[in-house]
Amino acid sequence: MNVAKRAFSEIEASEYIGMSRSYLRQSRMDGQLGKRKPAPPFIKIGRTIRYLKEDLDTWLESFYKASNLTDHEVNHG
């Protein structure tokens, strides 16, 4: 039975979104500071942290997609 994985560990989530584990840890503790993008949502099962694939996908999609840096700076400078 090949079931697609739905809940990722911190290591798997960091690899999936291309960010470091320390980013995920720090953003969980700090929340949204200043203009920093909020961290992806997570769930806590006992002492275990898990990230749901659909939440990571939604989080990634929330970022502005630019074709070049000038385009990004003009729209989000």
pLDDT above 90 covers what percent of the chain? 51
Instruction: Show me where the domains of the chain are located.
Output: 7-76
pLDDT of residue 30: 79
Contacts of 49 (CB under 8 A, 6+ apart): 9, 10, 28, 42, 43
pLDDT of residue 64: 74
pLDDT at 3 over 90: no
Q: For the stretch 47-76, what's the b/e string if a residue is b when 16 or more beta carbons lie within 10 angstroms of its beta carbon?
A: eebbbbeebbeebeeeeeeeeeeeeeeeee
pLDDT at 1 over 90: no
pLDDT of residue 48: 95
pLDDT in tens, 35-60: 667 789 999 999 999 999 999 999 99
